[in-house]
Amino acid sequence: MQTQTATVPTVLVVEDDEHISQVLRFMLERQGYQVVHMADGRAASNHIAASSPPALVLLDVMLPYVDGFEIVQLIRSKEEWREVPVLMLTAKNTERDTVRALDAGANDFVIKPFQPQELLARVRRFLRPGA
């Protein structure tokens, strides 16, 4: 009998709001994803420098120490992280912020408060095999 080891996609969540990070963890783990959480930009920067890339990064824009725009630039500058999809979350709903996030290298942008099913659909879009 052959055993299959299915790899569980890992999602790096970088979010400083404890409530939002708990909601994201609950939603993602319920869908079968493994979640790694960083609560500020400095911790996320250190994690990116020292760890293997996840399947996806959910990244808040406004973070303590290092903001989300700088984090996405760091991700895009690292060879092994360069192709990781980055989905940015923000409370700001301005065209300027959307353009800035996409120009920095984000793949998508979701405005808080987000609709859970819409966010999960966007996550699935990037984590589909062959996506």
| Per-residue pLDDT reduced to its tens digit, 26-65 | 999 999 999 999 999 999 999 999 999 999 999 999 999 9
Per-residue pLDDT band for 93 (boundaries 50, 70, 90) equals: confident
pTM tops 0.85: yes
Per-residue pLDDT band for 6 (boundaries 50, 70, 90) equals: low
Strand duo 108-111 + 86-90: pairing: parallel
The whole domain housing 34 covers: 10-127
Q: What is the CATH number of the domain that holds 123?
A: 3.40.50.2300
Domain-located, residue 38: yes
Domain-located, residue 1: no
- What is the mean pLDDT of the segment spanning 70-79? 96
